Amino acid sequence: MRTETLLKEFNEMTALPYMEIEMKNGEFLLVELTANEKGINVSFDKEFKAYFSSNVTEHGIGFFMPFDDCFTLDEHLQEIYSEITEGYLIPNNLY
């Protein structure tokens, strides 16, 4: 998909741009998603170190994942979920 199409699809989602990921203590990590023409900004209350893959840029309390024209929006969202689970929750014994 082209970047413009991915951004348009993101902006037209009927769901709120959030993820809730359950942690092992029964609480949920609230993840906010915003998008621009380059990719998706992901923010959450990060108390511990994160170990994201090399295609992710860490910033402040979250990270930025650039759009890849080879993937659908759903695949991007699945990748974000995986990055948080494998790069933040599991290494910090929260999952």
Mean pLDDT on 64-90: 93
pLDDT exceeds 90 at position 34? yes
Spell out the domain ranges in the chain.
3-89
Q: Residue 61: its pLDDT value, please?
A: 76
- pTM, whole model, 2 decimals? 0.87
CA-nearest of 45, 36, 48 to 93 is 48
Given the DSSP bridges, would you call strands 62-66 and 57-59 parallel, antiparallel or unpaired?
A: antiparallel
pLDDT on residue 1:
60
Single-letter residue type at 39:
G
* Confidence at residue 44, expressed as pLDDT on a 0 to 100 scale: 93
Query: Could you tell me what percent of the chain has a pLDDT over 90?
Result: 62
Tell me the pLDDT band of 31, cut-offs 50, 70 and 90: very high
Instruction: Tell me the two tokens of residue 75.
Output: 């695949």
